[in-house]
Chain A
Amino acid sequence: MPVFSSSEQAQEVFRTLFEILLEDDVFLFRMTDSNLSLHLVQTKPDVEMFVSPDGVHDGPPPSRATIRIKMSCDTAHSLWKGELLMPMALGTGKVRIKGSVSKVMEFVPILQPAFDRYPEIIAARKIES
């Protein structure tokens, strides 16, 4: 059974998560300073969004994002819950990233606020895992 019952539900959860990240000064500064943008593509159910320093936008990016991440919603859920480690997710191909690897590496350490807040986001929506 997939964790998310519909695209709308998953889209709303992950949009909220990235909006929280954009409220974090360190994350916002790094995104702006390094000119980073993120195209997130998730499947089962389908989710697509574009994250730039201006905000989180549903759907594909207006122009090519610096980083494109593809994974299933279940994988995303395990990652943000801290059950799946990023190197393993990448190594096993559960997560695929296109974009400069050095820019990806800049991203990883600044995602902590999302890990901290994800459990409460899904708990508030009564999403079972």
Chain B
Amino acid sequence: MPESSETATYSPTQLPEHLEELRREVREFVDAHVRPSVVDNDRATASEFDWKLVRAGHDRGLFRLVIPKEYGGAGYGVLGVAVALEEIAAACAGTALIFGATMLGQAPVLLSGDPQLQSRFLPMFSGDDPVLACNAVTEELAGCDLLIPENVVHATDVVTARRESDHYVLNGRKRFITNAEVADFGCVYANIEGAPGATGLTAFLVPLGTPGVERGPVADKMGYRACLGSELVFRDVRVPAENMVGGENNGMIISTQQMNMARATVAAISTGVARGAFELAKDWCGQRTQGGAPLYRHQFSARKLAEMTSKIDAARMLYLNAASVADNEVPAPAYEPASAKLFADRVAIDVAEEAMSLMGARGYLLDQGLEKFVRDSLGARIYEGTPEVLALAITEALYADEEDF
């Protein structure tokens, strides 16, 4: 497989050959393993989590796209992950997030630049059995406060980390953590005991089999039901000091870089959701005749379809650019990924809603698939930065001083 990305100008429909090849491979995976079970996985209970699908993704290397080749990965970088996630989300956003959340858990290991952590936590993704990861930030009393640097001081009751010789002891509870129920390890953000709010936020890689870690219960979500979001409880969990990423009190720095990598891929998921909804509406408007002509020949419907497809193209261009920038600048800049996500999340909601109106009553039926896109379209607006959080990141970048070294 090819090396990760280069800076390039992308067409919304035609990618460079190595990414087209990846897109074809992922499409085959989606057709064979995701589409046939979309409805079942949407309605399944947590205990029916689709491990068969996960294994198929693992066998095709889709959980190690961002991992460098020297650690057994595919070396595609953020751009490859984003292209893959759009394809998966065009069928099922929840499935895409199983992959996306794993990449989020891998990101701090990559960002650590620490060969020792990398050789412990990356090769496991190329073993015989599938391995999932998760990223644990959110808590009951601290949501966006843990994503906005100026607001960490206001966070309350955050998971604590207390140093005890060569270990840290973690206590507390995380909520809404995608993959927590099924992951092998998580990147867990904890506040060094005694630091006000979450000003001592620190990232730890925690194997979830460590004594004192409890998983669950799984949240009963409106959308993204194929992936499991659950609580993670820490009761005197001893984590070796060498599992800390980036040093004490530097969690916000790691988390910000991680978000700047991830937001382009979430924008890709939203683009996929919009595309999935659009494809249903396009097919319907091609077949359905009213007033003596197919719906797409009526000017009002034509206008809707044209605007939907233009918005999807624009969202794709923004995420491709953001992912490419994230692969070619360290630290990954805040502006492009946040703006791509802000735009694509809105497009997903607008396109799904327009698709619903174009399909009439058929769109409203449970067995047509569209209502799932509508439900899923609202999810990405919450995780990895709400519109308000993204707006703050964007304006912060707009008004940032010139580089001063």
Question: A105 contacts B113, CB within 8 Å?
Answer: yes
B405-A91 in contact (CB<8A): no
Q: Specify which chain B residues have a CB less than 8 angstroms from the CB of A86 in the assembled complex.
A: 113
A104 to B114, CA, bound (A): 13
For window 246-279 of B, CB contacts with A under 8 Å fall at 246-247, 250, 253-254, 256-257
Are A105 and B331 interface neighbours, CB within 8 A? no
Q: Which of B61-104 contact A (CB under 8 A)?
A: 68, 70, 75, 77
Given contacts A96-B329, A100-B327, contact A105 B110 (CB under 8 A): yes
Which chain A residues border B41 with CB–CB below 8 Å? Answer: none
B residues in contact with A97, CB < 8 Å = 329-330
State how many angstroms separate the Cβ of B236 from the closest Cβ of chain A.
28
- With A and B bound together, what is the CA distance between A72 and B404 in angstroms? 9
Say if the beta carbon of A93 comes within 8 Å of chain B.
yes
Q: How many residues of B contact A (CB 8 A)?
A: 30
Closest to B255 in A: A91
Check if A96 sits within 8 Å of B331, measured CB to CB.
yes
A98 to B333, CA, bound (A): 11
User: Which residue of chain A lies nearest to B254 when distances are taken between CB atoms in the complex?
Assistant: A91
Q: State whether the Cβ of A70 lies closer than 8 Å to any Cβ in chain B.
A: yes
Residues of B within 8 A of A93 (CB): 331, 403
User: A87 and B68: CB pair below 8 A?
Assistant: no
Interface status of B126 (Cβ within 8 A of chain A) = no
Answer yes or no: A109 CB below 8 A from chain B CBs.
yes
The contact string, 1 if C-beta is below 8 Å from chain B, for chain A 62-101, is 0000000011100100000000011110111111111111
The reply on B5 being an interface residue by CB < 8 A is: yes
Q: How far is the CA of A94 from the CA of B3 in the complex (A)?
A: 27
Against B, the Cβ 8 Å flags (1 = close, 0 = not) of A13-51 are: 000000000000000000000000000001110000000
A108 to chain B, nearest CB (A): 5
Q: How far is the CA of A125 from the CA of B33 in the complex (A)?
A: 64
**How distant is the Cα of A98 from the Cα of B253 in the complex, in angstroms?**
19
Most buried by B among A44, A70, A87: A87
**Residues of B close to A44: CB separation below 8 A:** 405
Q: A43-B405, A87-B113, A87-B246 are in contact. Are A101 and B253 (CB under 8 A)?
A: no
Does B328 sit at the interface, judged by CB under 8 A? yes
Whether B75 and A90, one on each chain, are in contact in the complex, defined by CB atoms closer than 8 angstroms, is: no
8 Å CB interface, B1-31 against A: 3-6
Neighbouring A residues of B233 by C-beta, 8 Å: none
Is the CB–CB distance between A102 and B329 below 8 Å? no
* A98-B329, A105-B68, A105-B113 known; A87 vs B254 contact (CB < 8 Å): yes
Q: Say yes or no: B111 contacts A87, CB within 8 Å.
A: yes
Give the residue name and chain of the A residue nearest to B326 (CB). A101
Question: Contact at B253–A96, with CB atoms within 8 Å?
Answer: no
In the complex, the answer to whether B330 meets A102 with C-beta atoms within 8 Å is no
Selected from A85, A88, A91, A102, the residue in CB contact (under 8 A) with B75 is A102
Is B156 at the interface (CB under 8 A from chain A)?
Answer: no
Bound Cα distance from A92 to B252, whole angstroms: 10
Contact yes or no, A100 B328, CB < 8 A: yes
Q: Smallest CB–CB gap between A104 and chain B, Å?
A: 6
Say yes or no for B112: interface residue by CB 8 A criterion. Answer: yes
Q: Is B292 an interface residue (CB 8 A)?
A: no
**Known contacts A88-B253, A96-B329, A97-B330, A102 near B68 by CB under 8 Å:** yes
Closest Cβ neighbor of A76 among chain B residues: B405
Contact check, B328 vs A91: say whether CB atoms are below 8 A apart: no
Find B253's partner among A71, A91, A102, A108 (CB 8 Å cutoff). A91
Q: Which partner residue on chain B sits nearest A34 by CB separation?
A: B3
Q: 27 A-B Cβ contacts within 8 A?
A: A86-B113, A87-B113, A87-B246, A87-B253, A87-B254, A88-B247, A88-B250, A90-B113, A90-B257, A91-B111, A91-B250, A91-B257, A93-B331, A93-B403, A96-B403, A98-B328, A98-B329, A100-B3, A100-B5, A100-B77, A100-B328, A101-B329, A101-B330, A102-B68, A104-B330, A105-B68, A109-B115
Seed contacts A43-B405, A102-B4, A109-B115; 20 additional CB < 8 Å A-B pairs: A85-B113, A87-B112, A87-B113, A87-B114, A87-B253, A90-B257, A91-B253, A91-B254, A91-B331, A93-B403, A96-B330, A100-B3, A101-B4, A101-B326, A101-B327, A101-B329, A101-B330, A102-B68, A105-B110, A108-B113
